[in-house]
Structure 1
Amino acid sequence: MRDTPGPAGGERFETDVPARLDRLPWSGFHWRVVIALGITWVLDGLEVTLVGSLAGAIHQSPSLALTESQIGLTASAYLIGAVIGALGFGWLADRIGRRRLFFVTLVVYMLASIATGFAWNFWSFALFRALTGAGIGGEYAAVNSAIQELIPARYRGTTDLCVNGTFWGGAAIGAVVALVVLDPALVDPEIGWRAAFVVGGALSLVVLLLRRHLPESPRWLMLHGQPEEASRIVCGIEREVVETKGWLPPPTYGAVVLHRRGAASIAEVWRAMFDSHRDRAVLGLVLMSCQAFCYNAVFFTYALVLTRFYGIPPHEIGWFMLPFALGNLMGPLLLGRFFDTIGRRPMITGTYALAGILMAATGGAFAAGWLSAWEQTLAWTVIFFFASAAASAAYLTVGESFPLEMRAMAIALFYAIGTAAGGVVGPALFGWLIEGGQRLDIFWGYLIAATLMLIAAATEWRLGFAAEGKPLEQVSTPLSAGR
């Protein structure tokens, strides 16, 4: 690293931190990053699946007795909390660092999840769900940005999709847990659904311990006037990798020139998103909002459809959730590497389009009454095999689209806008449609979701960009880049 006099905006310096991070072979350090940060998605999947699986039990709970519409509204409360949490914590993550936010957001999530198990009425349940969502929203911003900044460029797409996809590993665990806690022969259902939230939140303590051993993102330090500290952390990572992998390959590109500066201002963020990167802003907004509507509309009301239209008892919902969750998990795991080899644009376009077409076809079959409960579950499993990869790629796209100084805020903003536009409306709308009890009405909801996924596919094909294998600094030039 070399410092030279710079313009009024700050001292200019050169740093090879990005090149050194991107040349690293996959190692134990990268596994620790994936496990300690990505495990949040497992816990989130566990939490959200429990709500879906437990919807019938919560509806029948003598202490809560929520209606279908109220269950839909509590799902929307969770997503509203996630929107607020993403914006607030995302703003902080770009200013005080990724590592500090790892702990704050996880503690918020843990305490709120435990509190959900002690809810006494609709309003307390909705409040605790909103606070749980706030913690998860903050996690999406801080964790996604850190993973993208720490993982070598050639593995970034695969890793990001797989990490986001592990949400469904948690969902599968949640489905199995629901089978136990909702079995009246084993646990009183009134105690079972409450215990599930308490235990799920308490598991976050393990994650807190794992994160103690992760460093701050060197790229964040580099861009916030601390290139010396960034280089010191990279040296430590390199020493660890050399001990297990041998000598490191040479960097494939040179140093970058930056200016020392503080965090990006709101005005700079606005100009970057809606002036110099307008097409990418439109793309991110469409991808995030369309997948959010499709996912949240179907997933948060999954159990209600099975109980209302197929007569599945609440304590058996987990058997139907399990294959659905596994299909969602396998999508990113099996398709993720193709986003780094075939490329972002064709893969994102294809997964969104396939999900939309299959959603429309399945909606028609549901309306006609052609499907049994297991056939309906199989159809949803196939649809969301592709939709899961598409949704994970939306987070990847938003993170790669904008300069490093505003990465967490960009992820947070588009997550918030997309969730508010597609995710909050979806569960409430479908809860209302299901309460009406008419299959044809629900079909129109599925058709809206299908149309939105096809619109997202067309938008990606028109505005998508190649980021596979490229350094983050090349995909989007930092605001502090030297001229």
Structure 2
Amino acid sequence: MTAIGHDGGQGGRPDGDGAGAGSGPGGTITTQVPARLDRLPWSRWHWMIVVGLGTVWILDGLEVTVVGNIASRLSEPGSGLPITDAQVTGMAAALYVAGACTGALVFGWLTDRYGRKRLFLITLGVYLAATALTAISFSAWWFFLFRFLTGFGIGGEYAAINSAIDELIPSKYRGRVDLVINGSFWLGAMGGSLLSVLMLNTSFFALNVGWRLTFALGVVLGLVILLVRRNVPESPRWMFIHGRAEGAEELVAAAERRIEDETGRRLPEPDKAITIRTRRSTGFIEIARTLFRAYPRRAVLGLALFIGQAFLYNAITFGFGSILVKFFGVPSGDTGYYFTVIAFGNFLGPLLLCRLFDTVGRRQMISGTYLLSGVLLFITAWMFGNGWLNATTMTACWCVVLFFASAGASSAYLTVSEVFPMETRALAIAFFYAIGTAAGGISGPLIFSDLTASGVVADTALAFSIGASLMVAAGLVAAFLAVPAERRPLEDVAEPLSASATGPAGG
């Protein structure tokens, strides 16, 4: 199904099912690989990809939540680590965010250059090593260093994994799969909250042991994921653009045989082909020109979505514990239970709404979830400011807001991974992720910490309103600029830079 030539020529086997030869950089390849991948029915092969790649978000949620919950334990005398509570929630958290931003950009560039599979194995390896070394921390500087490196690995995962998922999952299912996988962060957050309650109970584990075992369990989960991930294939789309047409053909043919054996039906013939000129890599200048000159409206859309969701989440989650304690008298030891409920609401949003992003449409659902969550947070701020809420009803309001916000936030990752050309995909994800993470992890706390910690009702209501305003603004941007990418091949949403026809049309 691939014909190969050089300098614009075409050749190869005419029967359409030969693997074809490889082609070095600069040669041209005509291939049906994208169409063959997109017309595949859902199968066990796709489940393997989802399990192998998607579970990393559970690790991220586990990491972030565990560190927040064990901060007070680490600072206690006898914990085995000379560190203060402020250092854990301040310096260590900031370094984790900085590591995630840096890792996303570094590994995003390497992923586009050296392939999805090689990098998603390396990034998980970095995470595992850094988490294991965190568990044996003996000083503050050691803990800080390996929190940075843990974030470095997790940030790299976002770029490598999202690009691989979107390039392997059929276009019919791409939106729902991406949303649920990104939303699974909150399963990790739930697990982290409950795990911390158990592991920090001194009736079971000594003061200087429980927090170390918490990190060690993250390593065990990561090792299981690594074993599964070894079977996940490289992206055939990346392979043929980088001159590995024969390998791409063989990989897709093997998946087709496996699915035909599983379903007992012969697959339909693919309906289109694409001709591209192979390349070894894409330079930073070309990537920047593509994002901001060829697709300026899509770049604005990506920035708006990531910044909006980052500020809404920080408006709620940054000070939720202190809000419950100061305004509603909830014991500090019980806030983890409330957070578990909030995290469950976050996961339900992408789980229950994801199908609509593929059926109703991207523009309607992205703008709708952003606008609705922003408006609901405005209403929550108004009710809170008037003293009409208690701990239970406030948590219920947060759950409803974040039910829609979580689906919207997950769609931000989906958007930037599908609306730019394949050669720039991983770095585009990394760039927008880094901007959103920096906004949420640096600017957000600076703005919201004093407001939520002041103990003044009006200040906390203002924090909610700021987050709601940015979420509504992002929803309005999406209403005008969101790309109708539902059920469309990636190559139709954004033509590869390597395509032999004209370059990107812009927008």
Structure 1 length-normalised TM? 0.94
Q: Is the 8 A contact 2:416 2:429 kept in 1?
A: yes
CA displacement at 1:435 relative to structure 2:
4.0
Of the two structures, which has the highest relative contact order with CA contacts closer than 8 Å and spacing of 6 or more?
1
**Structure 1: which amino acid aligns with 2:310?**
A
Correspondent of 1:268 among 272, 286, 298: 286
The farther-off stretch of 190-199 and 38-47 is 190-199
Secondary structure at 2:29 match in 1:
strand
Are 1:406 and 2:407 counterparts? no
Identity of aligned residues (%): 47
Residues in 2 aligned to 1:64 and 1:308: alpha-carbon distance in whole angstroms: 28
Q: Deviations over 1:42-81 (max 9, x none)?
A: 1111111222333444465665563458614433322111
Aligned to 2:3: 2
The verdict on how the C-alpha distance between 1:428 and 1:121 changes in structure 2, with shifts beyond 3 A counting, is: farther
Distance 1:25 1:281, change over 3 A: same
The structure with the largest helix share of the pair is 1
Matched AA of 2:249:
S
CA distance in 2, matches of 1:366, 1:128: 39
Q: Choose which of 33, 40, 44 in structure 2 pairs with 1:24.
A: 40
Q: Which residue of 2 aligns with 1:371?
A: 389
**Cα gap change, 1:290/1:119 in structure 2, threshold over 3 Å: closer, same or farther?**
farther
Whether contact under 8 Å (1:288, 1:415) holds in the other structure is yes
Q: Which structure: larger Rg?
A: 2
Question: Secondary structure of 2:4's partner?
Answer: strand
Contact 1:77/1:130 (8 A) holds in 2:
yes
The 5-angstrom pairing of residues 176-325 of structure 1 reads 176-188=194-206, 190-251=208-269, 253-325=271-343
Match of residue 439 from structure 2: 421
Which of 55, 58, 61 lines up with 1:42 in the alignment? Answer: 58
Q: Matched residues in 1 for 2:266 and 2:469: separation?
A: 48
- The separation in 2 between residues aligned to 1:61 and 1:348, in whole angstroms, is 48
The amino acid across from 1:45 in the alignment is G
Paired with 2:326 and 2:200, the residues of 1 have a C-alpha distance of 18
Give the counterpart of 2:344 among 322, 326, 332.
Answer: 326
Partner of 1:77: 95
The one-letter code matched in structure 1 to 2:34 is P
Q: Select between 406-415 and 166-175 the one with higher mean Cα deviation.
A: 166-175
The residue that corresponds to 1:111 in the other structure is: 129
| Counterpart residue number, 2:473 | 455
CA 224–296 in structure 1, closer or farther in 2 if over 3 Å, else same = farther
Alignment check: 8 A CA contact 1:56 1:303 kept: no
The separation in 2 between residues aligned to 1:200 and 1:438, in whole angstroms, is 38
Contact kept in structure 1, 2:260 and 2:267, CA below 8 Å: no
The residue type equivalent to 1:22 in the other structure is: D
Cα deviation, residue 331, structure 1 = 0.5
Question: What stretches of structure 1 of length at least 5 have no aligned partner?
Answer: none
Task: Give the distance between the partners of 1:268 and 1:210, measured in 2 at CA.
Answer: 35
* 3-state SS, counterpart of residue 337 of structure 1: helix
Number of matched residues? 483
1:469 equivalent to 2:487? Answer yes
The offset of 1:297, in angstroms, is: 4.6
Cα separation, partners in 2 of 1:30 and 1:417, compared to 1, 3 Å: same
| Contact residue 71 and residue 88 of structure 2 kept, 8 A | no
CA contact under 8 A between 1:53 and 1:314: conserved in structure 2? Answer: no
Measured at CA, do residues 381 and 123 of structure 1 come closer, stay the same or move farther in structure 2, by a change above 3 Å?
farther
State how far apart, in whole Å, the 2-side matches of 1:31 and 1:395 are: 20
How far the C-alpha of 1:450 sits from its partner, in A, is 0.7
Q: Which moved more, 1:241-250 or 1:24-33?
A: 241-250
Per the TM alignment, residue 311 of structure 1 is displaced from its structure 2 partner at its CA by: 4.1
Q: Which amino acid aligns with 1:2?
A: A
Q: 1:362 to 1:185 in 2, by over 3 A?
A: farther
314-323 or 98-107, which deviates more = 314-323
Q: What residue identity is the alignment partner of 1:3?
A: I
With 432-441 and 108-117 compared, the bigger mean Cα shift is at 432-441
The structure-2 alpha-carbon separation of the partners of 1:88 and 1:341, relative to structure 1 and needing over 3 Å to count, comes to same
Q: In structure 2, how many angstroms separate the alpha carbons of the residues matched to 1:295 and 1:221?
A: 37
Instruction: Give the aligned CA root-mean-square deviation in angstroms.
Output: 2.2
Match of 2:13 in 1: none
Partner of 2:462: 444
The one-letter amino acid paired with 1:53 is N
Give a deviation string over 1:86-111, Cα, whole Å, max 9, x none.
Answer: 00000000011111111111121122
Partner of residue 12, structure 1:
28
Greater CA drift, 218-227 or 142-151: 218-227
Give the partner amino acid of 1:108: V
Distance across 2 between alignment mates of 1:331 and 1:21: 28
> Do 2:383 and 2:389's aligned partners in 1 also have CA atoms closer than 8 Å?
yes
Task: Report the Cα offset of residue 295 of structure 1.
Answer: 2.0
Q: Which moved more, 1:155-164 or 1:113-122?
A: 113-122
Query: Counterparts of 1:61 and 1:352 in 2: how far apart (Å)?
Result: 45
* More deviation, 377-386/23-32: 377-386
Q: Taking structure 1 as reference, are residues 261 and 186 closer, same or farther at Cα in structure 2, changes over 3 Å only?
A: same
Map of 2:111 onto structure 1? 93
Structure 1 residue 24 displacement after superposition: 0.6
SS at match of 1:153: coil
- Indicate which of 374, 389, 402 corresponds to 1:356: 374
Does the C-alpha gap of structure 1 residues 138 and 428 become closer, same or farther in structure 2, counting only changes over 3 Å?
same
Residue-by-residue CA offset, 1:440-475 (whole Å, 9 max, x unaligned):
323222211111100100000011110001000000
Asked whether the equivalents of residues 175 and 358 of structure 2 are also in contact (C-alpha less than 8 Å), the reply is: yes
Contact (CA 8 Å) 2:319, 2:453: kept in 1 or not?
Answer: no
Q: What secondary structure does 1:12 align onto?
A: strand
Q: Are the structure 2 counterparts of residues 479 and 468 from structure 1 closer, same or farther at C-alpha, using a change threshold of 3 Å?
A: same
Superposed structure 1 runs of 4+ greater than 6 Å apart: none
Give, in whole Å, the separation in 1 of the partners of 2:313 and 2:134. Answer: 23
Asked whether the equivalents of residues 221 and 227 of structure 1 are also in contact (C-alpha less than 8 Å), the reply is yes
